[in-house]
Amino acid sequence: MLITGLLAGVEAGLNRALRLDGTALPRLQALAGKVIAVQCQSPALELFILPSGDGLQLASQWHAQADCTLTAPAASLARLALSREKTAVLHRPEVSLDGDSAVLLQLAGILQDLELDWEYEISRWLGPVATTLLAGHLRSRVNLASHGAASLKQNLADYLAEESRALVGQREADARFAELDQLKLALDRLEARIERLTSANKSDA
């Protein structure tokens, strides 16, 4: 019952978010009637997803055959939920798909393409003028913050690799790794030659 309650809460929140995207629900309608089973290996949990034109229905059990079963460890499922490149996660070796995988790929595509119109939701509460002002303000702040974060990341990397020499830069590391690879190959060749000479020496004796 606890899991049922939890899923009911998640489902309500998820469907509210899906309604903010103008195209998500019509696209989900195309998947209506399909049952997707998600089996988490560690910890062992099972979740059923039933898409419809009203959104997604989540269930802890479903007494009918699933159209598609996704089996993966919890880490991969979390990555699948959070990553923007969902199809890339689905192609990892620890993730297995049984049944009609097109259903899951379509659902992943819909969730990946989500563009939530949060301005519409805010405008229902604040009105159009206030929403435009607030959205413009928020957007400029978000842009500023993301530029600041990118710049900080770049400067920090440059300082640590080039100025303080506390870390090795990516290109320098790549060059060293290439040299190590060469050395390893030369060593392998030398080892093989010694092996050959030793066996030739033994046969002469």
Partner 1 sequence: MSDPRKAHEQEPTTHFGFQDVPESQKAEKVAEVFHSVAAKYDLMNDVLSGGLHRLWKRFTIELSGVRTGNRVLDIAGGTGDLTRKFASIVGPTGQVVLADINDSMLKIGRDRLLDKGVAGNVQFVQADAEKLPFPDNHFDVVTIAFGLRNVTHKEDALRSMLRVLKPGGRLLVLEFSKPGNPLLAKVYDTYSFSFMPLAGKLITNDSESYRYLAESIRMHPDQETLKAMMVDAGFERVTYHNMTGGIVALHRGIKP
Q: Which residues bind partner 1 (CB under 8 A)?
A: 1, 4-5, 8, 32-33, 35, 48, 50, 52-54, 57, 59-64
* Least CB distance to partner 1 at residue 15 (A): 12
* Least CB distance to partner 1 at residue 46 (A): 11
Using CA atoms, how far residue 162 sits from 111, 156, 157, in Å, is 41, 10, 8
44 vs 64 by CB, closer to partner 1: 64
* Least CB distance to partner 1 at residue 66 (A): 11
62 vs 161 by CB, closer to partner 1: 62
Measured CA to CA, the distance from residue 17 to residue 28 in angstroms comes to 13
In the chain, DSSP assigns E strands to 36-40, 45-52, 55-59, 68-72, 96-99
Residue 134 has which token pair?
């607030």
Residue 155 has which token pair?
């400067």
67 vs 131 by CB, closer to partner 1: 67
Is the CB of residue 169 less than 8 Å from the CB of residue 161? Answer: yes
* Least CB distance to partner 1 at residue 82 (A): 26
